[in-house]
């Protein structure tokens, strides 16, 4: 009887350790808690990818629920998700805005011309579908840095007030849309519509 607790101590410690390590097997080290969620969009002033004379700011992303999609032609997963995004925009009226940045267009040692980038974008969108209302061109990749983007594709759900509600790292496919992004997007859109109807 007196010996029982002493034996239990290592067993208990071992159990705790095993539970801790076992959880580690299923945790994803790539999953970072985004700092952008819940915050308004950072201030920016960037040109349209296709019409460089048009410029956009945070105000152009309010008044409607949108999904900001960080992408580039060099990104393979982006090409894979383009047909599904196009389907969403056609069938469910989801608004996508592209935040485009180029990998080869080095701001310090420009190697690629803008018209070349535009050509590549046009080619890719005509091949896989164009879900975008418009594309913002993140010339120096500053906006991506401010948003905490680590690569492409990444998605930000932005509500009608311009607040970032979700930061999704990775592509949107049917599973991700139905389980993660779709419910939030539809709820936000519903809220916005009832607000507009009340006014």
Residues that bind other proteins in the complex, under the rule CB under 8 A:
29-30, 32-36, 103, 107-108, 141, 144-151
Pairwise CA distance, residues 165 & 157, whole Å:
5
How buried is 176 (Cβ within 10 angstroms: 0-12 exposed, 13-18 middle, 19+ buried)?
middle
Least spacing, CB of residue 106 vs other proteins, in Å: 8
Least spacing, CB of residue 20 vs other proteins, in Å: 11
CB closer to other proteins, 8 vs 145 = 145
Least spacing, CB of residue 144 vs other proteins, in Å: 8
8 Å CB contact between 164 and 47: no
CB closer to other proteins, 33 vs 93 = 33
Least spacing, CB of residue 90 vs other proteins, in Å: 32
8 Å CB contact between 154 and 30: no
Written as six digits, the tokens of 22 are: 């076992």
Written as six digits, the tokens of 82 are: 């383009």
CB closer to other proteins, 30 vs 175 = 30
CB closer to other proteins, 40 vs 129 = 40
Written as six digits, the tokens of 65 are: 């629920």
8 Å CB contact between 169 and 49: no
CB closer to other proteins, 111 vs 179 = 111
Backbone φ and ψ for 30, nearest 5 degrees, come out as: -80, -10
Least spacing, CB of residue 36 vs other proteins, in Å: 8
């Amino acid at each position: 009887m007196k010996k029982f607790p002493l034996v239990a101590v290592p067993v208990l410690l071992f159990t705790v350790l095993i539970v801790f390590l076992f959880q580690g097997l299923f945790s994803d080290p790539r999953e970072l808690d985004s700092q952008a969620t819940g915050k308004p969009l950072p201030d920016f002033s960037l040109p349209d990818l296709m019409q460089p004379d048009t410029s956009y700011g945070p105000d152009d992303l309010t008044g409607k629920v949108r999904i900001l999609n960080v992408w580039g032609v060099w990104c393979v997963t982006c090409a894979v998700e383009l047909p599904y995004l196009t389907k969403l925009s056609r069938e469910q009226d989801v608004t996508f805005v592209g935040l485009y940045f180029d990998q080869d267009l080095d701001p310090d040692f420009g190697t690629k011309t803008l018209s070349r980038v535009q050509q590549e974008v046009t080619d890719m969108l005509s091949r896989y579908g164009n879900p975008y209302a418009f594309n913002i061109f993140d010339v120096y990749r500053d906006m991506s840095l401010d948003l905490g983007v680590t690569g492409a594709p990444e998605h930000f759900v932005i509500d009608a007030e311009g607040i970032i509600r979700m930061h999704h790292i990775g592509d949107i496919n049917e599973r991700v849309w139905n389980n993660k992004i779709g419910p939030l997007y539809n709820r936000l859109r519903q809220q916005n519509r009832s607000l507009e109807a009340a006014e």
